[in-house]
Amino acid sequence: MASYLSLVFLAATTTLAETPHTAKPLIGQKEVVTVLAPPRNERNKTLALRYVARVDTGAATCSLHAVDVTQDGDQVSFTVFSDDRKTRHRVTAQFVEKKKVITPEGSEERTKVLMRIRIGDRNTISARVTLNDRSRLSHGFLLGRNVLHGYWVDVGRGADLQIPER
C-alpha cells in the first residue's frame, strides 16, 4: 500500500512539475493599466488613462474611481481622474447594470459599464467596470477577477510599481 501511495504521489508531483507555468502571464499585486475612454464630446479622440492598479482576486469585477455618474439610456457619463488625481476628464461608456453593494458604511447602488482596458503591454480587452468614488482609497483602479482569468498572480511582485514615463 505504501509503495502504491508513493507511486501516486510521484505521478502527481511529476505532472505538476511538468505543467507549463509560463503559459499564463505573471502579474503582481500592482499592475499598470491603461483605460481607453471615449470622451463625452465625440470630436475628441479616445483618452488613454494610465493607472497603477491594485490586483484584487477577492473582487468580482474591476472598479474605477469615478464621480458625477449620470445615465442617459444605454450610455453613462462620468468624471474620471488621472492617476495623480489632478486632471479631470468627462467620459462616456456603455451601461451594463446597476448593482447593490454592501459596504462598511451601509449599502449603495453602483453602476457597471463596459470599458476597454489594457493590462501592462498586453492586448486590449473589453471589461465590466464598476464606477464608484475611490477617493479615500489608495488606487484609482482595481483589477478584479473578471479580467484576471488567464493570469498567475504573485503578490510578492509589483509593490513598488510606478507608471513609467512615456
Interval 5-42: pLDDT, tens = 444 444 444 333 344 555 788 899 999 999 998 776 66
**pLDDT over 70 (residue 48):** yes
Question: What is the pLDDT, as a whole number, of residue 3?
Answer: 53
Q: What is the mean pLDDT of residues 127-138?
A: 91
Domain extent at residue 122: 27-154
Q: Does residue 8 lie within any of the structural domains?
A: no
pTM: 0.79
Q: What is the mean pLDDT of residues 32-54?
A: 84
Quick one: pLDDT band at residue 143, thresholds 50, 70, 90?
Answer: very high
Q: Does residue 150 lie within any of the structural domains?
A: yes
- CA-to-CA distance for 52 and 160, rounded, in angstroms? 10
Q: Does residue 142 lie within any of the structural domains?
A: yes
Query: How many domains is the chain built from?
Result: 1
Question: What is the pLDDT, as a whole number, of residue 136?
Answer: 85
Question: What is the pLDDT, as a whole number, of residue 84?
Answer: 81
**pLDDT over 80 (residue 65):** yes
Question: Can you give the CATH number for the domain in which 38 is found?
Answer: 2.40.70.10
Q: Does residue 22 lie within any of the structural domains?
A: no
Question: What is the pLDDT, as a whole number, of residue 109?
Answer: 92
Q: Does residue 15 lie within any of the structural domains?
A: no
Q: Higher confidence at residue 137 or residue 35?
A: 35
Q: Does residue 52 lie within any of the structural domains?
A: yes
